[in-house]
A and B are shown apart, each in its own frame.
Chain A
């Protein structure tokens, strides 16, 4: 089952495309990091997936085929929006009661226990909570719905390092306990690197890279060799990003696997997730989606027709 699947998905606000020709299939059971600079279209894609926005072109389905925003989709997805909007004049207890009233399932016991552990008083108005507490409350409200997919938009942008750590710990506990799939966006990869096992890289309204982190790392590597041969090598293979010094050139290349032959006179090094991400972000045109995802989506699109 794919928790999110999109094909030909586009969203235009006024005259500008916030998202274009997005094809995506995120399998269930992953913690997916959606990374990209500000304005890359991350929030737009998340809004489309949770049904807050309607697509200008294409379709997006969730949880194995439900249209985004349909009753079944709303029932199974919990969304925590950017800067975690809460009703500031309501108390924490009222916020629980309100969210409980708006859903078929709501694990009040879990929510109260969780808030107790965090030391968030039920009687306090949400507007008087600290940023970290507000984020934790929003996350608790989302998890108490027992969703199958948890979508978090820039959840840690406003948090200090300690609060970030606590927040991610809550998320990972839910993943371990309930097997909930998670999709979270950020413009900083560093905070997601340790937790994400699926990566979506976005830039300028397009999905640039999508795939399991292990697969992505396996089929990319850095080649180091004589700068004079760099241009010649670049013409023959899929170079994502090239960095040349006087004598030595570093090429980040996409390979068909770890067994790809290394050209004579060159050294091959494995790539880190951060190197890979930065290389793609520096070369917005150079990269593309890993093959298999596109192919799978194309087949589905055919079947759908």
Chain B
């Protein structure tokens, strides 16, 4: 048998030009056409619905807001009708929307690598000249951008739709279920869900289990953020000046008034004279004076009642004016986490291929 007469020396091809990145655009589009069409299409369909429903909502809301005098029975009927129909629908959509990023992560993120691994096609894809790390990076980045952009556009429509309901049920832009549907937070959560899905798919190598794990991991992270992390973003203020809060002022345990500009109350505590912690039994005595704790109707505010005992009430709160800093903090760490998860996925593709 012949041997090659001109042996190729290693090093000759070291200047090998890699296959250009743009070539992966077509590959990604062709392979993920169902995802790239269905995610924007579904979000778009819901957005169209929100737009149509939103016109009615805004119309109804304008009628309620313009109705004078407020206390008339006609106005009360308008308000109760608004609460019964519009608010019920909006609240349902808002709650379902909490699941949207998780579903996008499970259905669009998890199969990206799991399908290749489950069907064995990775053996074809990863032995081509493009190189498997670059292949993974190109796919994940392109899909992530498309999905995140669709989610951001959608959240703008929802934000407009939901605007009249701020103030309902003490909802403000900082409420858990409102905060993560607007600004840049919804897009950031969708991105992180997608990257969780991609990593789970690479780790588990099977589509269905990877989807289940994605849903679980996303909900876990969501709850952790809502219950533990978000109150600790370094934006909270501390005050004992109750007049900062508009109207009658908050009264600690009685909660903030129902207004779209009410701050997010994180905690309240009491100090006695000289700044020492207040005697808890005295605090309880004072609190028992007020109707919401089962006490009689009294003429003074809680602040005044505490002052009579030399006790100062303190609040830790985040004003709604800090909405955007809150958004940037949350979207920032979610973006960092997404990059980390993508890097971990690429690392696994490189080191644990077969």
Q: Please list the residues of chain A having a beta carbon within 8 angstroms of any beta carbon in chain B.
A: 1, 27-30, 47, 50-54, 63-66, 71-72, 74-79, 81, 83, 85-88, 90, 94, 97-99, 101-105, 138, 141, 145, 148, 179, 197-198, 212
Contacts and interface: CB of A to CB of B under 8 A. Distances in A.
B132 to A, nearest CB: 8
Contacts of B296: none
Listed from nearest, the 8 A-B pairs whose CB atoms lie closest are A65-B10, A81-B123, A102-B128, A85-B120, A103-B129, A53-B354, A1-B7, A101-B23
Nearest to B129: A103
Contacts of A85: 119-124
24 contacts: A28-B4, A29-B2, A47-B354, A51-B126, A52-B353, A53-B354, A64-B9, A72-B16, A74-B129, A78-B127, A79-B123, A79-B127, A81-B120, A83-B120, A85-B123, A87-B121, A97-B30, A98-B26, A99-B128, A102-B128, A102-B130, A103-B130, A104-B19, A145-B129
Nearest to B2: A29
Given A30-B1, A85-B120, A104-B19, 12 more contacts: A1-B4, A29-B1, A63-B8, A64-B7, A65-B10, A71-B129, A74-B130, A99-B124, A102-B23, A102-B27, A102-B135, A198-B1
Contact of A64 (B8, B14, B130, B135): B8
Nearest to A2: B7
A41 to B, nearest CB: 13
B17 interface: yes
B10 A64 contact: yes
Contact of B353 (A53, A90, A97, A98): A53
B125 interface: yes
Interface of B: 1-4, 7-10, 13-14, 16-19, 23-24, 26-27, 30-31, 119-131, 135, 351, 353-354
A87 B129 contact: no
Given A97-B30, A179-B4, A103 B354 contact: no
Contacts of A54: 351, 353
Nearest to A138: B124
Given A98-B27, A101-B27, A1 B16 contact: no
Nearest to B12: A72
Contacts of B2: 29, 179
A197 B16 contact: no
B31 to A, nearest CB: 7
Contacts of B122: 85
